Amino acid sequence: MQNTAEMIFTGDELLRGDIVNTNQSYLGEKLLDLGIFATHALCVADDRAAITKAIGDSLGRQPAVLILSGGLGPTEDDLTREATADAFGLGLVDHPELLEAIRTLFKDRGFVWSENNRKQATLPDGAIAIPMRGTAPGFYLEAGGTLVVALPGVPRELKEMWTGDVEPLLRERRLGTEGFAVRRVRTFGLGESRAADMLSGLEWRGAGMDIGTRASKDGLTIILRAVATPQGVLLLEQTEARIREILGGRVYGVDDDDLAAATGKLLRRAGLTVSSGESCTGGLVAKRFTDAPGSSDYFLGGVVTYSNGAKSKLLGVDEALLAAKGAVSSEVAAAMAEGARSLFGTGCAVSTTGVAGPGGGSAQKPVGLVFIGSVVAGVTVVEELHLPGTREEIRYRSAQAAIDLLRRRLLRPSQNPAARLPLSA
């Protein structure tokens, strides 16, 4: 099937939930960038017969690309080479040059050599090795029009192989590259149902353009896909422009744009600096800002004031205010933002205070209640959030929301309080 792909991930640890399969989301997005659309993704236990059947079933559907991830290590439960050979009806072949490369790598890195590592130098007969990014090479081979690519399960190694070898290979073979143009419109504070309502006037399917959505803790991504012709690209650009017009300040970027980095660009453009005063987010706001290269141009510092005493001592929050309103309140969020701005001498500041859970909530202040504050041009604005999810999710979304509040205010500095675009489902 032209422009389609399937993915098979091996490992008992994936099925037990010991680790999260981030490789699937990474590969799905990278394939889409090439105009190749994943139709199946399957996790399979470390069982030779089960993996062999999964590969055979996929080959029967004849996708353009089949990506295998995991099972390339030296242990007894690493079975991707054997299962691939079985599915193709091939034998396994030793590759002395790979064995020598693995031995050299072990020596150079001071690793202890084990005879088990010989296994990593064997490939299905006719397979072509993909250079190592760890201690195991990947490989690829073709059958019936399907290109089968086997990659490690370690995310860092998989990503390096993908960008360094697999993506160039797919482009060289013109698998999907010339078929479609893809654009991802990044938004924050907008749920899928609300987005569907607001964009209901657009044609979501057909007429040379498809529109889809993907929700994550980073926000809602609206995915546009058009045929990669001049007319198709023009339609994509017109649709993106229309989406920006409808959604306004909820859009913070496209493709790989990051919310904190986009906010940093606005700060740099305005010649402003920012600081943070955090409670429930425990430094995540500062981390998000400083994840962006060059953020020292505009982010001067932050403090985590988890206790009331720290809020009072470091940010100057009035003890009487804390006693009267409680740490989780709009008044304290405002005071924390103003205190951070004063402490670091910045033009802007943000703050977070809330109940991240799983305990500590009450009827009046339940888990998920968060107040985010911001100071811009001497004007303080606070927003109240009611966030679902785990402790980790609430903390992350709170940090993102605080940064987004600042971003929205920077977009419309002349009407700061009116810049509010409430979070919606």
Q: Which one has a higher pLDDT value, 69 or 2?
A: 69
pLDDT of residue 106: 87
pLDDT of residue 207: 67
Q: Tell me the mean pLDDT in the region 147-170.
A: 96
Name the token pair of 347: 């033009």
pLDDT level of residue 32 (50, 70, 90 thresholds): confident
The pLDDT tens digits for 343-377 are 999 999 999 999 999 999 999 999 999 999 999 99
**What percentage of residues in the chain have a pLDDT greater than 90?**
80
Q: Tell me the mean pLDDT in the region 286-307.
A: 97
Q: Tell me the mean pLDDT in the region 281-305.
A: 98
User: DSSP state, 372?
Assistant: E
pLDDT level of residue 176 (50, 70, 90 thresholds): low
pLDDT level of residue 179 (50, 70, 90 thresholds): low
Q: Is a pLDDT exceeding 60 seen at residue 20?
A: yes
pLDDT level of residue 178 (50, 70, 90 thresholds): low
Distance, in Å, from the CA atom of 180 to the CA atom of 185, rounded to the nearest integer, reads 16
**What percentage of residues in the chain have a pLDDT greater than 70?**
95
Q: Is a pLDDT exceeding 70 seen at residue 39?
A: yes
The pLDDT tens digits for 369-415 are 999 999 999 999 999 999 999 999 999 999 999 999 999 999 976 54
pLDDT of residue 229: 85
Distance, in Å, from the CA atom of 370 to the CA atom of 387, rounded to the nearest integer, reads 8
Q: Tell me the mean pLDDT in the region 210-224.
A: 90
Q: Is a pLDDT exceeding 50 seen at residue 316?
A: yes
Q: Is a pLDDT exceeding 70 seen at residue 417?
A: no
pLDDT of residue 292: 95
Q: Tell me the mean pLDDT in the region 337-347.
A: 98
pLDDT level of residue 423 (50, 70, 90 thresholds): very low
Phi, psi of 41 (to 5 degrees): -140, 130
Q: For residue 206, what are the contacts with CB-CB under 8 A and spacing of at least 6?
A: none
Q: What is the pTM of this model?
A: 0.78
| Helices (H), ranges, 164-291 | 167-172, 192-198, 230-247, 259-270, 284-290
Closest CA to 74 of 8, 132, 14, 15: 132
pLDDT of residue 413: 60
pLDDT of residue 108: 87
Q: Is a pLDDT exceeding 90 seen at residue 135?
A: no
Distance, in Å, from the CA atom of 362 to the CA atom of 365, rounded to the nearest integer, reads 5
pLDDT of residue 59: 96
Contact 386, 375 (CB under 8 A): no
pLDDT of residue 143: 86
pLDDT of residue 422: 45
213, exposed or middle or buried, with CB in 10 Å at 0-12, 13-18, 19+? middle
Distance, in Å, from the CA atom of 128 to the CA atom of 162, rounded to the nearest integer, reads 15
Full DSSP string of 294-356: TGGGTEEEEEE--SHHHHHHHH---HHHHHHH-SSSHHHHHHHHHHHHHHHT-SEEEEEEE--
The pLDDT tens digits for 100-124 are 999 998 888 888 888 888 999 999 9
Residue 68, beta-bridge partner list: 8, 150
Distance, in Å, from the CA atom of 67 to the CA atom of 147, rounded to the nearest integer, reads 8
pLDDT level of residue 2 (50, 70, 90 thresholds): low
Contact 89, 126 (CB under 8 A): no
Q: Is a pLDDT exceeding 70 seen at residue 420?
A: no
Domains of the chain: 4-172 (3.40.980.10), 180-254 (3.30.70.2860), 260-419 (3.90.950.20)
pLDDT of residue 254: 95
Q: By mean pLDDT, which of 168-177, 243-252, 269-278, 299-308 is the weakest?
A: 168-177
pLDDT of residue 424: 42
Q: Tell me the mean pLDDT in the region 224-240.
A: 90
Q: Is a pLDDT exceeding 80 seen at residue 303?
A: yes
**For the chain, what is the mean pLDDT?**
92
Helix (H, G, I), strand (E, B) or coil at 44: strand
